[in-house]
Structure 1
Amino acid sequence: MSGMREHGSASASERIDPTVWKVAAVVSIGSFMSQMDSTLVNVSLSTIGHTLDTSIATAQWIVSGYLLAMALMLPLNGWLVDRIGAKRLYLFCFSTFTIASMLCGAAQTIGELIGARIFQGLVAGVLVPMAQMMIGRVAGRNLERVMGFTALPILLGPILGPVLAGLVLAHASWPWLFFINVPVGAVGIAMAVLLLPRDAPASQKRPFDFTGFALISPGLVALVYGLQNTSRAAALAWLLAGVVFLAGFVLYALRKGNAVLIDVRMFATRTFSVAALAQFSANGIMYGRQLAVPLFLIAGCGLSAAHAGGLLAATGIGMMCSFPPIGWLTERLGCRALAAGGALLAFLSTLVFLWMSIASFSAGWAAVSLFLAGVGQGTISVPSISAAYSSIAKERLAVANTALNIAQRVGGPFATTLLSMAIALTQHGASDVQPSRFLPMFVLLAGLHLLCFTATMFLPVRVRRV
């Protein structure tokens, strides 16, 4: 009898509270909407530029303006959550993001569209990090299980985005790329009103740190802009300005302590700093692979865009296979073993492309490699996020989440900049299809994978969470 009672008690403790699933459902809508929106715009730039009679260089600001505005507002997320409350802030940002989508669709000129996208990016800078943080606040010991399932809509956005963009542009004009956000936004707002728990009153409201904001936000914008525009003469000046501003923020934050916008002393906690490095490098290898592999397949191996796209889908399938069981795997293998194993698997898959760049291309090996890269990639982030959250007091979660998201956002441009420089050096003046020219690029990508693997090896074996 006592054994049966103990088993029933254990089962009850493993059961996830319905409130957690309600929060997860709401934030999944927001994550799906933002991911799909980015993909729709990225694959439709040439069409939009042609319709609005502007160059691709100008149309590119539809994407660049959004990303820079997002970087500007990202440091404010933690302070705004503490000041306003998670539910109220989420409702405001999600509603405003939907309105911004309507403004994008209503734009008549390229200037109006870029302006609307900058407005949308300002809102997204606060909205995007909230999904991770809101789940972290309510999931408790079930964080890995819940995040594993809520990651699926984030993956579906980039997969469905190109298909949906093709359908929209085949049957309607480009503004409908933005107008389709409106019904999704309406559903998300209604779900947030009904399902999100009420905000608890804040124990203390921090005053706004104007000096910190004036240092970290321009620093992030300058750094991201410099990384994304390394081919331009002024890129080095932007990078240096970004480094100077961010260094100034770190020195200032060390003096101010808790009163600063982001308390950098969190990085003195080994688990948190290692998890942040894992997030930085994991995001870097993901963006780096998205740049390197299509270029290699199309420009290096002579594949058609359709053939290359079919092979690249294997990465998304691999990630979708790894996310649902990630909670179960974390419970049995532990945080370090799962994340490091995934990083090692992703590294080994990159060696296949190293081999193909000096030997011969194989579609079969490429598909298997990309699938395994997706499986490995999918097991890195959730354990490292879980480890970071376990090392920080719950009341500091919003600020910690902001710091993690900054590390993630910088990792992508950093990796693509390194790989772009390798491409520029090896492809200069080349016109023929020659896979060996892509060898340095994959060597760098393999190095980024090793950095990620090294970081995950310093994660805790297991995390303790109440």
Structure 2
Amino acid sequence: MTGTPTHKPEAALTHSRIDPRVWQVALVVSIGSFMAQMDSTLVNVSLSSIGHTLGAPLAATQWIVSGYLLAMALMLPLNGWLVDHVGAKRLYLFCFAAFTFASMLCGAAHGVAALIGARLLQGLVAGVLAPMAQMMIGRVGGQNMQRVMGYTTLPILLGPIAGPVLAGAILAHASWSWLFFVNVPIGVLGVALAARMLPRDTVAAQPRPFDFAGFALVSPGLVALIYGLQGSLLCLCAGFALLVAFVLYARSKGEAALIDVRIFQGRTFRVAALVQFFANGIMFGRQLAVPLFLIAGCELSASHAGGLVAIIGIGMMISFAILGILTDRFGCRAVAAGGALLALLGTLAFVWMAFNGYSSAWAVASLFLAGLGQGTISVPSIAAAYASLPKTRMPVANTALNIAQRIGGPFATTLISMSLVMTPGHASGVQVHHFEAAFVVLALLHALCLAATLWLPMRIERTPQR
């Protein structure tokens, strides 16, 4: 199997002490994830400044973000096939270096068209790079996978927290180009550490031939579906039709398909993918609804609202730090379901505030509760999905889980956006009660996520490695 480590990380399966080599892999992939998260936050909060400097309208500058996301969706299905053919380490090194180079191109752009083009290149690389962090940890983590994932997610959470602060400092003292140039030293460090610390690749015995027909169905299908979820019914229908066609096609192709959909025949993996869909959906839905409610509905300042939203990150950091201990003691299902319940309770508090008025005490308590719960949903389900499969199936499992995550986000944000637009009186001015439907929808998504976690296995038992 291409990309399988030459050392024996299975030592982690029989000892509670985590192999130092596992921490080396975790350190390297955490740098890549941190850079990607920070980059997204820097760009998202600086779009208006970039557009003003370049003299571009919002309709054009929004493609700096949208183009990146769509290019990412286009390449995401290729991850498993590329790992098999190129090797995990070689692919990670190339993508990390290419992402850093694309950051330099973004910073050097002199117009919005050139910047969008460089962001498209970044998105193409990120579509292959993004799923690799959890796959690499899944390969070497063994029984300690959830503990390792919990710890390595801590620095990733710093990206969205540090991003707005860093963006403000850069824009106050330098040009917008440094929003992208800041990635370069981080990227150089990450590539150097990856070359030294990641386990070497081995040669695949029988690499799969490239599935051109499958790629022609699933990649455009994902792009059309994600774009359609942002408001185009025609693209939504086209994306759905292409993905249905791919599923039917892939079932007949079996392992030769770009993504072997038979992986969903396993109940544990199927449930874990559903949990990932809803977990990512409620996270993105909360990121959309809560700041809008606080700023537009409750008339809080942007800095005040930002400080409140940061409480979610604090809650998540605490839960990630103790995730391994909780799972060892209470099991996969109890931890994920308990987290989903806490996140639901936190959202129900916002439903109450939408109907009865803003309360600072309720806001602080509910956001902390939501973050605490959100942090314990995803990792147990990912660990359960990986543990239910042999390592030879890890690349295709990783691709499938990431596709579920990428679709969940725009699905939730579209529902919430529609509920806001369709609220009577919204056009005349936003008020607290205009968010009633939005938070009810978000609470229903939380309830569906909770229901999905109840189908996870009680405990994680690893499938024999074949």
Q: TM-score, normalised by structure 2?
A: 0.95
CA 1:412 to 1:433, structure 2 compared with 1: closer, same or farther past 3 Å? closer
Q: Does the CA-based 8 Å contact 2:268-2:384 persist in structure 1? A: yes
User: In the TM superposition, what are the counterparts of 1:240-389 in structure 2 within 5 Å?
Assistant: 240-389=237-386
Aligned equivalent of 2:137, options 135, 138, 148 = 135
Tell me the residue number matched to 1:49.
Answer: 51
Q: Does the CA-based 8 Å contact 1:349-1:373 persist in structure 2? A: yes
Aligned residues between the structures: 453
Which letter maps to 2:297? Answer: G
Tell me the residue number matched to 1:81.
Answer: 83
Aligned equivalent of 1:199, options 195, 201, 213 = 201
Please say if 1:401 is aligned against 2:398: yes
CA 1:11 to 1:261, structure 2 compared with 1: closer, same or farther past 3 Å? closer
Tell me the residue number matched to 2:3.
Answer: none
Deviations 1:127-156 (A, max 9, x none): 011000001011111100100011011110
User: Displaced runs of 4+ in structure 1, greater than 2 A?
Assistant: 9-12, 427-434
C-alpha separation in 2, matches of 1:447 and 1:463: 28
Which letter maps to 1:111? Answer: A
Q: Deviation at 1:299?
A: 1.6
Q: Where does the alignment leave 5 or more consecutive residues of structure 1 unmatched?
A: 1-8
Q: Deviation at 1:427?
A: 5.5
Deviations 1:33-66 (A, max 9, x none): 0000000000110111111111011000000000
C-alpha separation in 2, matches of 1:349 and 1:45: 30
C-alpha separation in 2, matches of 1:336 and 1:412: 23
C-alpha separation in 1, matches of 2:64 and 2:374: 29
C-alpha separation in 1, matches of 2:247 and 2:153: 32
Which letter maps to 2:117? Answer: G
Q: Deviation at 1:12?
A: 7.6
Q: Deviation at 1:429?
A: 4.6
C-alpha separation in 2, matches of 1:317 and 1:203: 46
User: In the TM superposition, what are the counterparts of 1:104-183 in structure 2 within 5 Å?
Assistant: 104-183=106-185
Tell me the residue number matched to 2:447.
Answer: 450
Q: Where does the alignment leave 5 or more consecutive residues of structure 2 unmatched?
A: 1-10
Tell me the residue number matched to 1:390.
Answer: 387
Q: Deviation at 1:227?
A: 0.9
User: In the TM superposition, what are the counterparts of 1:408-427 in structure 2 within 5 Å?
Assistant: 408-426=405-423
Which letter maps to 2:35? Answer: M
Q: Does the CA-based 8 Å contact 1:384-1:459 persist in structure 2? A: yes
Q: TM-score, normalised by structure 1?
A: 0.95
CA 1:388 to 1:12, structure 2 compared with 1: closer, same or farther past 3 Å? closer
Deviations 1:181-228 (A, max 9, x none): 110001001100111110122132000000000000000000011112
C-alpha separation in 1, matches of 2:22 and 2:290: 37
C-alpha separation in 2, matches of 1:302 and 1:123: 39
Match of 1:323, SS?
A: helix
Q: Does the CA-based 8 Å contact 2:12-2:18 persist in structure 1? A: no
C-alpha separation in 1, matches of 2:236 and 2:164: 32
Which letter maps to 2:234? Answer: A
C-alpha separation in 1, matches of 2:42 and 2:144: 33
Which letter maps to 2:459? Answer: R
C-alpha separation in 2, matches of 1:432 and 1:268: 49
Tell me the residue number matched to 2:61.
Answer: 59
Q: Deviation at 1:360?
A: 2.4
Deviations 1:340-389 (A, max 9, x none): 00001111111111111111211011011000000000000000001111
Which letter maps to 1:365? Answer: W
C-alpha separation in 2, matches of 1:65 and 1:188: 25
